[in-house]
Structure 1
Amino acid sequence: MTAGVRSDNAVSDDLRAVVESLLSGKYGPSAVRTLEREISPMASSYPAEVITVTLAAGQSLRIFLKDLSTRRYYADIPERRSREIAVYRDLLAGADLGTPHYYGSVEDPDRNRFWLILEYVEGPRVKDKSFEVWVQAAAWLGRMQAHVAAHPDLLKRCTAIRRLTPDFFLATAAAAERAAAAFSRDLGRRVLQALAGYADLAYRMASQPPTLVHGCYRPYNILLRSSGGSSPICPVDWESAAIGPPEYDLAHLANGFDDARRRILVEAYRAEAASYGLHVDVGEEVDAMFDGCNLHKNLKTLTNAVERAFPVTGVEKLVRIIEVTAARALRGRTNRASRSSSMA
């Protein structure tokens, strides 16, 4: 996609004032000589621009403007934009995790203007890279969770992000069943049948030691920096961020891989967490949480089937995946119940 130059003068004038204010602390007042706007080829659900700023001293820098005032899909826009701004401002700024530098934001409800202004990061998405890069992305989660564990006040002070409660997991499951039933009664019945016993798993997932979760840690939301930063891995698009179980993001990243590659991703995550001082438990319960989060990821995808007009064949395939992942995720519950019965 070729970027196009933006020239709407009213917005450019406002943007120049904002950028000058955000950069004045480092470069001094009236530091901006010129400002050139281009539509970003990285834009997805929200409009976005790359801003090239030429400074009075002659140097230039590029910043990324994400326009959070509108979205391709309209659910929960106010919550999503408040959440993403808060994560960059309150949790990631100064954390030295390789995420884009936070310059600032604009929140002006009267003009419906909500801008998030970040460092522009050059580099491809992880989805276009080899599996070895996906392993680096799994390791990054261990580093990030170790940072959060070492700074427990971070999550307490960021009130804009939600907690993933049992009701959250159960509501997603119910919405997935309704979405499947909208395509056929049989598909809805199959999802409902596959989720027998899911309530117990939902409560256990919600009771895990809490950490920051990205919420949609998929390879199209992770950049591989071409240069700069303390880490080559650079997760972006934090609008779905939450406080939830440690396995949540890793399960999203590993979705679709066979067991051998899943193990490689899990071991990279655990090793990196340990190198930063965070012990990650192993065992049957942790595996069950990983499988449960993987099941939730597929249920969440199914909830979008009607709004995004999935083809029937796609929904049928997704229901089959849910049946398989549900059998795996709920297997531990069945095994524990069997052991309890044999001990009685």
Structure 2
Amino acid sequence: MSIVHPITSRQPHPDFLTHPAAIAWRRLRPGSDWPIAISILKQRCKSAIYKMDGAAPDGSAVVAKLVEGEPYSRFREDHSVLAGKWLGLLHSLGSRVVAASQLPHRGPVHYLAHLRAARQRLRTDLKVLDLPPGQSAVFAAVIAQCNLLESHWSQLEKWDALLPSTFIHADFKPKNAVIRAGPDGPAFFSYDWELSGWGNPAIDIAHVNLSAYRSAAEEFGPHLDPDALQLTALLGRIYLRLAAFAWESHKMDPRWELSTEHLSIYQEEMAAAIAAAPWERKTNGHGTVASLQVPDEAPRKGIPGANSVANLMIKTLEVALSRSRGRKVRIQKLRRQACIATESFQSERLRASLNSGEVLPIFLKDLNPAHQTEAARKVREFDLAQSYRELHVYQGILSRIQLGTPELYAVRWEPERGIFWLFLEDTGNSRLRECRNFAKWALAARWAARFHFAIQALPASQTAFLPKYDRAHYQEVANQIEQTLPTLQSADSRVVAQALDHFTGQIDWLSALPRDLIHGQYFGRNIMLRPRNKERPIAVIDWETAAFGPGTFDLVSLASGNWTDGQKQTLYRAYFEECKTKTGFHGNWNEFCTELREIELYQALQWIAWWRNRSLSFNFGKWIRELSRIMRSHPAMSLRS
């Protein structure tokens, strides 16, 4: 007699109902528990790796992208045979799945778009960049190949029609597959399906054993002509290289040397595929496919006297500025000055003298964790999470809105060399925290309201990498405070314990608040005042703590400190009225003030957990005083003597 144990599942957090990692896990393991927390382990250009706490059957964590096995090699015959059999089954059975036909089409139109996009970007680069002759030759050769293929595109369309469309992986490469040992021998496993679609199987079978593919495919499908299969695989190699051209030309900035090396390899592989293809003779009298000739270019002389670091900075800026301005930009002189007043990462002020006569002020921020200031090392984690976050905020979010944040001129990001450089617009030395003109502070409150509203127009895919102020986040702050309590002086401990008791009772309420993209440390020190600029008077800097949380968090950050109650109310009103005027906000003022009080208390506790005790920094005492003030004025609690 078998006993069936019912599966019980906890109620999911609302955020996880739409989280891609949680959805994929529940589809893979129906009936599994929802995770209690989801965090990003690694953010990549095209994907992310997530950790889902509490999702496994035993309550342990699940990593959303964990693949074990022997790396797949297309050069090993046994691996190629396994891949061929696996793809044969996938394609023959996938053609019967009706839903698969609704996936994105990966046919000639798709790859012609890749061809044209790559060619356009490379043409622009050749026009505006001052490249060494070797790199220029690679660009020109790829452009010539694109021209040639487009002129013969009708032939590629005929080859694409040789096999029927089916469900395809479309990103079938060695890094996306492994070989595992099983009870019946080695087995093939593939992953990374985000590019999968509906189309000719050419791109999947470009580098597999075709005999193995044919035998497996014919077991469930029609007879396949060997010659048609060979031509389809050749077409797949052309499609693969066109996709690679598009991808490398897209990510050329800032790693143009590495991308050029990749392009050189892909160009040679494309040349081999073009040479092997049975092209039809052109009817216009020009004959068959000709060999590709590429123009030469005079070498560029190095910058006299420039050291290696400065020279790398110059090269990075010249490429990026040439692209953004649509013309060749040369830096004739670069002056460097270290910033002494920085509070987190080491930085420099640069003055770039351009060939146009313009002197461009640039702020270089070095996001290498090893280059943090001594004060920052006491409290910051030694990892790249916040560095990556700031990079993605500037590239994917701030660059898409026009609210006066510093312009991102260039990026140099080479983890293997310890280079994590952001080249930003230098907005000057005037910080809001030193400004006694209260109208400027009210202006910053209104700016925050516009910023929170503007971000709502961005698609969720562009902001998915940001952490959320959800229940797990607030609970973690409470846990940190609990661990800190035994180490505090008795007077501090009493204040913090009372505040913590109130805060833990508000966690569910806080978790349910609407979330906006917030700066996370919207203090006067992170708000620069541009001199003589009425259109863009303020510039908000240091975005490594950006997150999704209540917009009021930024407002209470701005209003924290030695303000009178009347001044705080003025800042609150400025934000509130801007929301109503610019965004159509219809909130209630009293409810708004209630939210501000709770966020104020939470923020003070968060900073107390950050600074930990008085011996670490004077900032701890500042936040104890701020917490005491908040508690004295809070209607739901009073500081007990």
**What is the TM-score normalised by the length of structure 1?**
0.84
Match of 1:91 among 380, 397, 400: 397
Q: How far 1:227 moved relative to its partner?
A: 3.6
Corresponding position of 1:113: 419
Residue-by-residue CA offset, 1:65-98 (whole Å, 9 max, x unaligned) = 1000032324344111111111111111131101
Contact 1:82 1:160 in 2 (8 A): no
What is the number of residues matched between the two proteins? 323
Match of 1:68 among 353, 358, 367: 367
**2:597 match: secondary structure:** helix
Corresponding position of 1:224: 529
Contact 1:96 1:230 in 2 (8 A): no
Tell me how far apart the structure 2 counterparts of residues 292 and 193 of structure 1 sit (CA, whole Å).
Answer: 14
Gapped regions of structure 1 (runs ≥ 5):
1-6, 333-344
Corresponding position of 1:160: 465
Equivalent positions of 1:278-289 (< 5 A) are 278-279=584-585, 281-289=587-595
1:20 matches 2:318 = yes
Gapped regions of structure 2 (runs ≥ 5):
1-304
Equivalent positions of 1:74-223 (< 5 A) are 74=377, 75-76=380-381, 77-130=383-436, 131-149=438-456, 151-153=457-459, 155-184=460-489, 187-223=492-528
**What is the TM-score normalised by the length of structure 2?**
0.47
Tell me how far apart the structure 1 counterparts of residues 623 and 504 of structure 2 sit (CA, whole Å).
Answer: 21
Tell me how far apart the structure 2 counterparts of residues 327 and 170 of structure 1 sit (CA, whole Å).
Answer: 24
Residues 328 and 23 (structure 1), Cα distance of their counterparts in 2 relative to 1, 3 Å cut:
same
**1:93 match: secondary structure:** helix
Bigger drift between 296-305 and 64-73 goes to 296-305
Corresponding position of 1:337: none
Equivalent positions of 1:182-331 (< 5 A) are 182-184=487-489, 187-228=492-533, 230-256=535-561, 257-279=563-585, 281-306=587-612, 309-310=615-616, 315=620, 318-319=623-624, 321-326=626-631, 328=633, 331=636
Higher CA-based Rg: 2
Q: How far 1:246 moved relative to its partner?
A: 1.6
Bigger drift between 30-39 and 60-69 goes to 30-39
Tell me how far apart the structure 2 counterparts of residues 219 and 269 of structure 1 sit (CA, whole Å).
Answer: 16
Tell me how far apart the structure 1 counterparts of residues 442 and 353 of structure 2 sit (CA, whole Å).
Answer: 37
Match of 1:52 among 341, 351, 361: 351
**1:276 match: secondary structure:** helix
Bigger drift between 279-288 and 17-26 goes to 279-288
Q: How far 1:106 moved relative to its partner?
A: 2.1
Tell me how far apart the structure 2 counterparts of residues 94 and 162 of structure 1 sit (CA, whole Å).
Answer: 20
Q: How far 1:144 moved relative to its partner?
A: 0.9
**2:464 match: secondary structure:** coil
**1:196 match: secondary structure:** helix
Residue-by-residue CA offset, 1:111-157 (whole Å, 9 max, x unaligned) = 111111111112510111122211111111111122123x042x542
Tell me how far apart the structure 2 counterparts of residues 53 and 206 of structure 1 sit (CA, whole Å).
Answer: 47
Contact 2:321 2:329 in 1 (8 A): no
Tell me how far apart the structure 2 counterparts of residues 227 and 177 of structure 1 sit (CA, whole Å).
Answer: 48
Percent identity between the two aligned chains: 26
User: What CA RMSD, in Å, does the superposition of the two structures yield over aligned residues?
Assistant: 2.6
Contact 2:487 2:613 in 1 (8 A): no
Tell me how far apart the structure 1 counterparts of residues 489 and 613 of structure 2 sit (CA, whole Å).
Answer: 16
1:36 matches 2:342 = no
Q: How far 1:159 moved relative to its partner?
A: 2.8
**2:400 match: secondary structure:** coil
**1:64 match: secondary structure:** strand
Q: How far 1:63 moved relative to its partner?
A: 1.1
Tell me how far apart the structure 1 counterparts of residues 614 and 489 of structure 2 sit (CA, whole Å).
Answer: 17
Residue-by-residue CA offset, 1:234-261 (whole Å, 9 max, x unaligned) = 1111111101112110011111333211
Residues 58 and 217 (structure 1), Cα distance of their counterparts in 2 relative to 1, 3 Å cut:
same
Residue-by-residue CA offset, 1:271-297 (whole Å, 9 max, x unaligned) = 223332341512443222211221122
Tell me how far apart the structure 2 counterparts of residues 316 and 33 of structure 1 sit (CA, whole Å).
Answer: 50
Q: With a CA cutoff of 8 Å and minimum separation of 6, indicate the structure with the bigger relative contact order.
A: 1
Tell me how far apart the structure 2 counterparts of residues 79 and 325 of structure 1 sit (CA, whole Å).
Answer: 32
**Residue identity in the other structure for 1:325:** I
Tell me how far apart the structure 2 counterparts of residues 328 and 180 of structure 1 sit (CA, whole Å).
Answer: 23
Tell me how far apart the structure 1 counterparts of residues 389 and 430 of structure 2 sit (CA, whole Å).
Answer: 25
Contact 1:177 1:188 in 2 (8 A): no
Q: How far 1:218 moved relative to its partner?
A: 0.5
Contact 2:521 2:545 in 1 (8 A): yes
